[in-house]
Amino acid sequence: MTMSALGEPCVLLKLGEVVLKGNNRELFERRLQANIKAALKDVGVKVDVRQRHGVIAIFLPDGTGVEVADTVAERVSYIPGLVWIHRAWRVAKDPSAITKAAIELLADRDDVRRGVSFAVRSRRRDKRFPLTSMQLDRSVGGELNDIYGLPVDLKRPELVVSIEVDRDEAFVFTGGLPGQGGLPVGTSGRGLVLMSGGIDSPVAAYRMMRRGLRVDFLHFSGIPFTTSESIYKAYALVRALDRFQGGSRLWVVPFGKAQQSIKASGQDRLAVITQRRLMLKTGEEVARRLRAGALVTGDSLGQVSSQTLQNITAQDDAVDMPILRPLIGLDKTEIMAEARRIGTLAISELPDEDCCSLLAPRRAETAAKVADLKKIERRLDAEELAVQLAGSLQEYRLDA
């Protein structure tokens, strides 16, 4: 298979709901292009990102190998806003050049040797092209059938040869990588994720990134009464999630002494909800400093005692800032399946000293009353404590 016969390697990106944005579509497309360029800034070559109607084409410098195109395709497959990524060949907008590229594309393939069924599916974005989509399908498909003897199956083909005729060139490809879907990160504002070392909060962060929210991460460490293990774990989780947005920042608050004060208050059954409210208050203070407009948590309704409806309502009362809970209707099996898919489950399952282990009453309150919680907070001076905790914030940079 020679590059001269196939044309030039490139990558085609198919947009999802961005195309439905009407008059605001251009803003979403510009943000998506910026995210793509940021994700590819260290691939070793200068890429040329061009917008088409409903498609983004990434062209590579002359002489670029297939391996670089594969790396580009894999890298952009993590960027929200894209639904399909195709490693394609850019050829002249000419029926004979398209046919020749399709023939070469199937050469030396194991599935072709096995005699898989196939179909050719063409799309003309440039209606001036002399052949209709159906005519191009038949022309190219007939040549492929003559050369390789593959059975044609237009309903459920095992192999699809795709052809897209654009304004200046044509693209030929087979298969593709599924994208993340959703909206480009940064089109929905900024949020702050309360990041534990567990399974739920990384999935919540991912889901909000898919909805266009750029997120920072806030981790509460049990230091000085625990080791730094939970920080290392949170750092590893943020690194795994950074593929989806780039430029992620992890902030850590030493929370152990505040937990000690809560435990000393003597309100054993309310300790967990009191802690959660203090975390939210601290998170709100940090979010304001970072100019974030919402907090994000991994709460799932009824999953644990602190996540009953009444307890969630009591937590909402602690802050004025919106609290986003993208996992609220999912069960643990569904959350674990998504964590496995996005690559965070194995990290979350590593052992560590979670700060929540410092407050583990034998029986936690499932129906906390706001009035009782506010009495405890007045004794703790929770508002001032939250400001002090936010002032102890430490940043852990991913490039360190």
Which residues participate in the annotated binding site? Answer: 194-195, 219-220, 276, 298, 307
Question: Measured between alpha carbons, how far is 183 from 207 in angstroms, rounded to an integer?
Answer: 11
The first and second tokens of residue 147, run together, are 């050369």
Binding region for ATP: 194-195, 219-220, 276, 298, 307
Question: Measured between alpha carbons, how far is 117 from 300 in angstroms, rounded to an integer?
Answer: 45
Question: Measured between alpha carbons, how far is 171 from 123 in angstroms, rounded to an integer?
Answer: 10
* Residue showing tokens 């102890």: 392
Residue 231 to residues 151, 252, 288, 351: CA-CA distances in angstroms? 57, 8, 23, 12
Question: Measured between alpha carbons, how far is 180 from 19 in angstroms, rounded to an integer?
Answer: 15
Question: Measured between alpha carbons, how far is 255 from 278 in angstroms, rounded to an integer?
Answer: 10
Q: Comparing C-alpha atoms, which of 303, 102, 66, 99 is closest to residue 204?
A: 303
* Distant-in-sequence, close-in-space partners of 7: CB < 8 Å, separation ≥ 6: 89, 90, 91, 92, 97, 101, 172
Helix H or strand E encompassing 206:
helix 200-210
3-state DSSP of 31-69: HHHHHHHHHCCCCCCCCEEEECCCEEEEECCCCCCHHHH
DSSP state of 375: H
Q: Comparing C-alpha atoms, which of 295, 260, 287, 267 is closest to residue 371?
A: 267
